[in-house]
């Protein structure tokens, strides 16, 4: 991931220097490989662009903002498909080349470029010829971008700090926004401004279904509403798998191939940190569930066998549960923090240990590092406020629960079992893969089964359609960011 910071003010009202430097400092955590600034003045307005880069792909690090013929691009994303880009090519450079060839007088040509991108992104782009500022996120909101709107200034940032005079909100992932700074240019069609910046209207081009003939079509349907033809009584049988018709078998085959290709694109061309090519470049957030064991098995297909894969398993000490257990039974190891104590034998730890054994049976030639990350209650409380700051502006109990697990997992400090003895271990993987959202997308919760049981396919489809897991994706991205400077990692949520 990379960091984006942008300000729009009048020329005689530059951003507060202290606030600007604070925002630069926290964005550097997202991009340790390069940082730089571009500043321009347009129609009595001052525009400042600042970017930080985490270099993962391509042979050469491309500093941002990218500047070409007056155009300026700040990019935090990855292009896995849609635009023709080779694995070795830097996607920031390739995107800039495409953007500089669009018709500056026809916004639909620029919107068409972004609608083709398959992958997560957030961006800020200055189009010199049209004097337009563009910014937004992909339709799933998989990269963080916040805005701060005041009467005399407008700020965008990948991350922010709470408890400041500035009030930040997530940029809605509902489309791509545009600000026209050339007063001589008239819009080709009337529109209702979303809001105004220094009396300048902000226009939204919303993501819409293709059948609605939008300027910014969604790259895929929101949900397949087609009701399958399948004998539902067979689904209650645990003794045999139902016979599937050719159409369903083809769907399963296609899904497997798409997921495999998604893992390949995220793992096959990661740069090595140093000359030690035997160090793991990929880690999987590993609770032992079906989603993470599948992702680990797919990653195995696309990495050299000489390269281990880290499986990061987090367990938190729960004093209340431990005290309740001690009331019933005195544990000989109750005062120990070793891995073999019952303190950290959580359901995810037990499932994780069992699942890694299955992976070792499937792929015995691969070294699987099952990293047991044990978090004492005192340590969790020590970092709690720091993690809350990273979550900002998210603030729910569920956000915090997810953020705590993600932050300690991405730190990668734990222990591994080496021939029956536990040794300290720290993962240096550059890419972390998570199955976050799989249950919501694929109907994996008990409520989905209950919806199906009581209302059939129609009610199940409605239940899946009502799921909202995208805020968890942003929570994940922002909580990984403060571990980048040590592990230099980037998360991918599949």
Beta bridge partners of 169: 147
pLDDT at 338 over 90: no
Query: Between 395 and 155, where is the model more confident?
Result: 155
The pLDDT tens digits of the residues spanning 137-153 come to 999 899 999 999 887 78
CATH topology of domain 232-493: Rossmann fold (3.40.50)
Sign of the torsion angle spanned by Cα atoms 73, 92, 193, 472: negative
pLDDT of 489 reads 43
Rounded Cα–Cα distance for residues 143 and 140 (Å): 9
pLDDT at 485 over 90: no
Rounded Cα–Cα distance for residues 218 and 207 (Å): 5
In three-state secondary structure terms, 434 is: strand
pLDDT at 492 over 70: no
Residue that has been written with the tokens 């919501």 in this structure: 440
Q: Which of 79, 92, 94, 185 is nearest to 132 (CA)?
A: 185
In three-state secondary structure terms, 463 is: helix
The residue extents of the domains of the chain are 3-212, 232-493
Q: Per CATH, is 3-212 categorized as 3.60.20.10?
A: yes
Q: Would you say 88 and 104 are in contact if contact means Cβ atoms under 8 Å apart?
A: no
pLDDT of 277 reads 62
Q: Which of 2, 148, 294, 479 is catalytic?
A: 2
Do 3-212 and 232-493 fold alike per CATH? Answer: no
In three-state secondary structure terms, 251 is: helix
2 noted as active-site residue: yes
Rounded Cα–Cα distance for residues 482 and 383 (Å): 12
Q: How many CB atoms lie within 10 A of CB 398?
A: 11
Q: Would you say 257 and 284 are in contact if contact means Cβ atoms under 8 Å apart?
A: no
pLDDT of 212 reads 65
Residue that has been written with the tokens 């191939």 in this structure: 257
Q: Would you say 154 and 13 are in contact if contact means Cβ atoms under 8 Å apart?
A: no
pLDDT of 340 reads 46
Mean pLDDT of 372-391: 94
The pLDDT tens digits of the residues spanning 348-375 come to 999 999 999 999 999 999 999 999 999 9
pLDDT tier, 106 (very low <50, low <70, confident <90, very high otherwise)? very high
For residue 209, what are its two tokens? 């279904």
């Amino acid at each position: 991931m990379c960091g984006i910071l942008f300000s729009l003010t009048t020329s005689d009202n530059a951003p507060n220097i202290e606030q600007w430097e604070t925002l630069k400092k926290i964005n550097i955590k997202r991009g340790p490989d390069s940082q730089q600034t571009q500043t321009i003045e347009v129609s009595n307005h001052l525009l400042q662009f600042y970017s930080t880069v985490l270099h993962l792909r391509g042979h050469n690090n491309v500093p941002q903002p990218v500047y070409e013929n007056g155009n300026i691009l700040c990019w935090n994303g990855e292009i896995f498909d849609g635009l023709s880009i080779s694995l070795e090519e830097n996607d920031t450079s390739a995107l800039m080349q495409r953007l500089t060839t669009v018709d500056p007088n026809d916004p639909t040509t620029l919107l068409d470029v972004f609608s083709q991108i398959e992958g997560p992104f957030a961006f800020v782009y200055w189009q010199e010829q049209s004097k337009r500022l563009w910014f937004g996120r992909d339709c799933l909101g998989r990269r963080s971008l916040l805005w701060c709107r005041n009467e005399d200034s407008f700020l965008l940032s990948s991350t922010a700090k709470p408890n400041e005079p500035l009030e930040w909100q997530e940029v809605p992932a509902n489309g791509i926004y545009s600000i026209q700074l050339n007063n001589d240019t008239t819009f080709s069609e009337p529109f209702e401004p979303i809001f105004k910046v220094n009396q300048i209207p902000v226009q939204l081009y919303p993501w819409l279904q293709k059948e609605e003939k939008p300027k910014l079509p969604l790259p895929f349907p929101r949900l397949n509403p087609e009701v399958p033809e399948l004998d539902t009584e067979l689904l209650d049988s645990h003794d045999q798998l139902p016979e599937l018709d050719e159409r369903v078998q083809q769907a399963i085959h296609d899904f497997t191939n798409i997921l495999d290709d998604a893992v390949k694109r995220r793992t096959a061309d990661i740069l090595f940190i140093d000359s030690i090519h035997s160090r793991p470049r990929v880690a999987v957030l590993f609770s032992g569930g079906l989603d993470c064991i599948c992702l680990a098995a797919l990653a195995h297909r696309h990495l050299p066998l000489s390269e281990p894969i880290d499986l990061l398993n987090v367990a938190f000490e729960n004093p209340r549960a431990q005290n309740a257990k001690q009331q019933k039974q005195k544990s000989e190891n109750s005062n120990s923090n070793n891995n073999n104590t019952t303190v950290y034998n959580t359901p995810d730890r037990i499932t994780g240990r069992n699942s890694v054994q299955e992976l070792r049976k499937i792929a015995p030639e691969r070294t699987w590092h099952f990293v047991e990350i044990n978090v004492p209650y005192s340590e969790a409380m020590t970092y709690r406020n720091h993690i809350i700051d990273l979550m900002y502006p998210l603030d729910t109990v569920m956000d915090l629960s997810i953020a705590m697990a993600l932050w300690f997992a991405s730190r990668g400090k734990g222990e591994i079992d080496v021939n029956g003895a536990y040794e300290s271990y720290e993962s240096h993987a550059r890419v972390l893969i998570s199955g976050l959202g799989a249950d919501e997308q694929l109907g994996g919760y008990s409520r989905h089964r209950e919806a199906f049981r009581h209302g059939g396919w129609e009610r199940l489809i409605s239940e899946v359609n009502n799921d909202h897991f995208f805020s968890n994706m942003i929570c994940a991205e922002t909580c990984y960011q403060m571990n980048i400077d040590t592990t230099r990692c980037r998360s991918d949520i599949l």
